[in-house]
Amino acid sequence: MYIFDFQKRVRYSEIDQMGYLYHGRYVDYYEIGRAEMLRALGLTYREMEEIHKVMLPVASLEMRYIRPARYDEMLTIRTTLRQFPTDKHMVFYVEVFNEAKKLVNGGRVRLVFVDMNTMRPMSPPTFFTNLLVQFFPEHASEPALGEHQP
């Protein structure tokens, strides 16, 4: 499991008439959480697209609004990868906490690995899964047979 926290302040341009973070803007927060999780792994989404020619469009999302987040609050976006990606899809679980550590919003986003050369779904690329193995030790590659020989 890989859990990553990133902080973002609620900006004036993001709030609604109630002085609360507009419900549609949480999607942007989720995206920021994922982008920063990747960066912490040593990979940027921009490199993923520009160098590796892999994109990650969103296939679906779900969110629940638990309590409002107010203007100027510093929110914590917690992004969790519960499973090692083996499929063409990958799910990020997200929780957003306010300054009092209370849950504001929770949800999940399902992304698809897409090969930008063919524009078709693809299996998770090894340059990416290699970065995740550290968090999912059970997925570390089996050593080649010969290496066990004394």
Complex with a copy of itself: residue 39 or 139, whichever CB lies closer: 39
Residues with Cβ within 8 Å of residue 68, at least 6 apart in sequence: 18, 20, 21, 104
71 is a site residue for a copy of itself (CB under 8 A): yes
C-alpha 88/C-alpha 125 separation (Å) is: 10
C-alpha 34/C-alpha 28 separation (Å) is: 10
58 is a site residue for a copy of itself (CB under 8 A): yes
For 51, the 3-state DSSP assignment is coil
- C-beta of 102: minimal distance to a copy of itself in Å? 17
149 is a site residue for a copy of itself (CB under 8 A): no
C-alpha 14/C-alpha 148 separation (Å) is: 57
- C-beta of 6: minimal distance to a copy of itself in Å? 11
For a copy of itself, which stretch binds (CB under 8 A), given 60-68, 94-102, 123-131, 137-145?
Answer: 60-68
For 21, the 3-state DSSP assignment is strand
132 is a site residue for a copy of itself (CB under 8 A): no
63 is a site residue for a copy of itself (CB under 8 A): yes
Cβ atoms within 10 A of the Cβ of 104, count?
A: 24
Options 40, 52, 65, 83; binder of a copy of itself; rule CB under 8 A: 65
28 is a site residue for a copy of itself (CB under 8 A): yes
32 is a site residue for a copy of itself (CB under 8 A): yes
Please report, for residues 26, 77, 102, the alpha-carbon distance to residue 14 in angstroms, rounded to integers and kept in the order given.
9, 16, 20
Interface residues toward a copy of itself, by CB under 8 A:
11-13, 15-19, 22-25, 27-28, 31-32, 35, 44-46, 55, 57-65, 68, 71-72
